[in-house]
Structure 1
Amino acid sequence: MEEVRIGIIGIGNMGTGHATYLARGEVPGARLTAVCDTNPDRLAWARANLGEGVARFEHPEALMDSGLVDGVMIAVPHYDHPPLAIAALRRGLHVLIEKPAGVYTKQVREMNRVAAESGKVFGIMFNQRTNPLYQKLRDLIQSGELGELKRTIWIITNWYRSQSYYDSGGWRATWAGEGGGVLANQDPHQLDLWQWTLGQLPKRVRAFCGFGKWHDIEVEDDVTAYVEYENGATGVFITSTGEAPGTNRFELSGDRGKIVIEDGKLTFWRLRVPERQFNREYRGGFGQPECWKCEIPIQGTETGHKGITANWVSAILHGTPLLAPGEEGIRALELANAMHLSAWTDDWVEIPVDEDLYYHHLQERIRNSKYKKPAGPARTLDIERSF
């Protein structure tokens, strides 16, 4: 194979962006050959902007069965990521899904099983993994430079959204339409980076969610979660769409110092002697380990969505390792599901989450949701998404 023929399912906000850079030939080895959407206006846009050389379909199955594509990019509402990915994988197509992997882990686990059996290249659009700041952080942690983890604190409140944003679509911020709020829509990237940089998930979660705390919506728009890890380390995750101005600060403490990512910079306060060693050996009463403030050099440029797509294409053509394997999408979702379930039950939740219990609680909320979802995944492709 000299090139990958790509079809995009869903050309709302996200799909349009992907279609545009692919049509311009900005991803080596990739050619956009087909798009799909049930909204006639979006297909008209595709005809006008992508040209007659890109086939247009109203239904995803027709695109998948057309023989025009080797792989598909899925950019539809959250609930439909797994069923469409499964359908494509079973047809022998490579798949790249938008985030999040889905709404609940039970559904995503089945998608992962099908992907593993298919032998096809399965990726997820965790484009923040291309950010050299987080790549360097992961390196510092995985190499042991930070030492054993003690605490993580991520304040990610610069997701401000007005009521008019939520009112722009009946599906928005509903259990039936979106399957969650800030955790499902805005935060999947941070939840992924949290576990990806650390290389582990916590063992249990206690979360407090404000459902419609700052807006007239069904789902969470304010979350404070406390987590515990196997080694005794703890973490706090704070997020909101109701604060202005917001903050994006990720702080990690380990035996060998502290790392902070904020305002596009990574700073490492490195201890000359590990804290646990200093604690055992020091005899001077008041005192603390010598600390060096290190400005860590960051190399590379964030390539974002285009970078993840290029990596996926290269994996198909050349066997390049995926930066964001699709199977790893379940990890961020595990955290979001645990936070929801903890708030719903007003209790601690162990990880992995009790998937049947989560599904039961989710179904109760879907039944009471004001949004009534059209039947079938193909019926939802016309929904505009703007994050």
Structure 2
Amino acid sequence: MIQVCIIGSSGHFGYVLDGLREVPEARLVGVAPGSPGETMDKVLAGASRLGAAPRLFDDCLDMLDELRPDVAAVACHFGDHARVAAEVLKRGIHAFVEKPVATTYSDLRMLRDVYAAGDARLAAMFGSRQMPHFRTARQAVREGAVGDIRLIQAQKSYRLGSRDAFYRQRSSYGGTIPWVGSHAIDWVRWIGGETFESVLAMHSTRDNKDHGELETTALCHFRMTNEVFASVSLDYLRPPTAPSHGDDRIRIAGTEGVLEVRDGRVLLMNDREPGIRELPLLPKEDLFPAFIRQLDEEDGRVSAEDAFAVTEACLKARQSADEGRQVLF
């Protein structure tokens, strides 16, 4: 039996609850807040719908020490991810961590060092990788559907609504580029297959509806290996009347064609067939079960290096936006 704990209720803990349905050998045994002011009511309600009855702890470290789970999911305030994940790894427990895995350079270095010193596995919650349209896009691009990639444009657009108080401070939120942008920056790297070389970014807190330091808009321009250029557009400007909470898109232009993901569809035009084709979608593959399955493997769907590389890219893009200059990798 694989024993699982959840720390925090501020991130995508639903990935774990949904994934437990597919992993009969895993059992949710404990939950605890990871940041001051967090309550675990939503997590406990979700667990109840699964028929699970985990113990509720006031302190996540007490929970880890008493229960000694095999896996701990970290989904607390974003500024606390690295601190809590490091405590998980120090105890030899595998860590499934909300992205970004750190919100400062010093925390990222610390987490890398803790990970390298032990044998426990770490993966970030890059949930978009499990979606049929992004899986299909990656497979098509890797199979040469657009030829050599020259340009990538990615978009994340969300409703703002009324966010929890911790979103209003950089110290606990981390910034819109690390929080919202990490998904799109991951697509650019994961689908495109290139490495970041430099970034020039900008962001703004204007019109954030009294959300303090939260940035409502951001734009990141990346130079990648092999002279591939990528842009990432981020905003909280999706109106409340929109048919869905988010609007995720990516466009990949290459020497032999163009592929676009939008509205959950994958559209391809290339020099092999006339017109625009809609590609059949691969099935969804839930991320948490994939993480559980990869615990005994050398490589997995989301590696620790993926988590660290994307987090570093987010932090460099945020630094570029803060300082108004290009930042090298």
TM-score greater than 0.5 by the shorter chain:
yes
Q: Distance in 2 between matches of 1:41 and 1:250?
A: 35
The TM-score normalised by the length of structure 1 is 0.73
The partner residue of 2:326 within 348, 351, 361 is 348
- Give SS of 1:339's match: helix
The answer as to whether partners of 1:195 and 1:331 remain within 8 angstroms in 2 is no
- Give SS of 1:228's match: strand
Task: Show the counterpart of 2:90.
Answer: 90
The partner residue of 1:197 within 191, 199, 204 is 191
Within the alignment, does 1:176 sit opposite 2:171 as a pair? yes
State the 1:270 CA deviation.
Answer: 1.0
Q: Kindly provide the amino acid, as one letter, of the partner of residue 226 in structure 1.
A: H
State the 1:26 CA deviation.
Answer: 4.4
Higher CA-based Rg: 1
State the 1:174 CA deviation.
Answer: 1.4
The answer as to whether partners of 1:271 and 1:292 remain within 8 angstroms in 2 is no
State the 1:247 CA deviation.
Answer: 4.9
Within the alignment, does 1:225 sit opposite 2:203 as a pair? no
Q: Distance in 2 between matches of 1:187 and 1:61?
A: 30
Change in Cα spacing, 1:319 to 1:28, as seen in structure 2 (3 Å) is farther
State the 1:197 CA deviation.
Answer: 0.7
The partner residue of 1:29 within 25, 29, 36 is 25
Task: Show the counterpart of 2:316.
Answer: 338
The TM-score normalised by the length of structure 2 is 0.85
- Give SS of 1:171's match: helix
Task: Show the counterpart of 1:298.
Answer: 281
State the 1:178 CA deviation.
Answer: 1.0
Q: Distance in 1 between matches of 2:137 and 2:40?
A: 40
Identify, as 1 or 2, the structure richer in strand.
2
Task: Show the counterpart of 2:290.
Answer: 311
Q: Distance in 2 between matches of 1:72 and 1:325?
A: 16
Change in Cα spacing, 1:55 to 1:260, as seen in structure 2 (3 Å) is same
Per mean C-alpha deviation after superposition, the further-off stretch among 44-53 and 319-328 is: 44-53
State the 1:327 CA deviation.
Answer: 3.0
State the 1:127 CA deviation.
Answer: 1.5
Q: Distance in 2 between matches of 1:254 and 1:160?
A: 32
Tell which has more relative contact order, 1 or 2 (C-alpha 8 A, sep 6+): 1
- 1:52-71 mapped onto 2 (5 Å cutoff): 54-71=54-71
Per mean C-alpha deviation after superposition, the further-off stretch among 101-110 and 81-90 is: 101-110
State the 1:262 CA deviation.
Answer: 0.9
Task: Show the counterpart of 2:306.
Answer: 328
Render the CA deviation track for 1:321-353: whole Å, top value 9, x for unaligned: 421123311232233222222222222111x2x
Aligned residues: 319
- Give SS of 2:191's match: helix
Change in Cα spacing, 1:254 to 1:345, as seen in structure 2 (3 Å) is same
Change in Cα spacing, 1:117 to 1:151, as seen in structure 2 (3 Å) is same
- Give SS of 1:266's match: strand
Task: Show the counterpart of 1:42.
Answer: 40
- 1:245-260 mapped onto 2 (5 Å cutoff): 247-260=247-260
Task: Show the counterpart of 2:7.
Answer: 9
The answer as to whether partners of 2:78 and 2:173 remain within 8 angstroms in 1 is yes
- Give SS of 1:189's match: helix
- Give SS of 2:168's match: coil
* Aligned residues with identical type, % of pairs: 20
The answer as to whether partners of 2:8 and 2:38 remain within 8 angstroms in 1 is no
Q: Kindly provide the amino acid, as one letter, of the partner of residue 215 in structure 1.
A: K
Q: Kindly provide the amino acid, as one letter, of the partner of residue 153 in structure 1.
A: Q
Q: Distance in 1 between matches of 2:39 and 2:79?
A: 23
Ranges in structure 2 where 5+ consecutive residues have no aligned partner: none
Q: Kindly provide the amino acid, as one letter, of the partner of residue 204 in structure 2.
A: G
The answer as to whether partners of 1:105 and 1:330 remain within 8 angstroms in 2 is no
